[in-house]
Amino acid sequence: MSLAVPVAASFRFTDGMVRLVLGALDPQQAVERSRDGAGPSVSWLVGHMLHYRCLALKTLGKEKASPYGDLFGETGATDGAGYPSRAELIEQWNGLAEELESVVAAASDEQLEAQGPAFGHGEQKVLDTMTFFTWHEAYHMGALSTVLKDLGLPGIADRVMAARTA
């Protein structure tokens, strides 16, 4: 089995959950901040993950300028003014999901074993960096579920279970 298979599976798993969440929110819910207005919104979390997906593509040799680097790269959450719409986030997510799936599927084991960029977590190989990116998404998916619950909405696990029984 190629080393890329579990990396692709992890990104694909996140894709379905992000689509489930974004598809169920109205535009105001998407930008509503958690923790009484001091925490991130769903839009900030999704935009941040999109930014990091562009970095993942770059790590695999596909130059992809992040459409949201200024808003969601190293900048904390704001009131949502100037954030892309929920519809735009869905469109960007779907496009990047397809592109990432294709690039990861084409990655060779040699490419993944090569020296890669480090993000400060002990990464040495490209595979280490890709593992960080999938962990980073999992971390933010947990935060996303917490934000939803903080806003009085069903969390991700609740949504997945509801979709399974529908």
pLDDT digits (tens, 9 = 90+) for 112-151: 999 988 888 888 999 999 999 999 999 999 999 999 999 9
User: Could you name the CATH architecture of 4-165?
Assistant: Up-down Bundle (1.20)
Give yes or no for residue 15 having a pLDDT over 90. Answer: yes
pLDDT digits (tens, 9 = 90+) for 62-84: 999 999 989 998 888 988 889 99
**Helices (H) and strands (E) in the chain — how many of each?**
7, 0
Average pLDDT across the chain, whole number: 93
Q: Give CA–CA dist 34/12, Å, rounded.
A: 26
Domain ranges of the chain: 4-165
pTM comes to 0.94
pLDDT digits (tens, 9 = 90+) for 81-100: 899 999 999 999 999 999 99
Q: Give CA–CA dist 32/131, Å, rounded.
A: 30
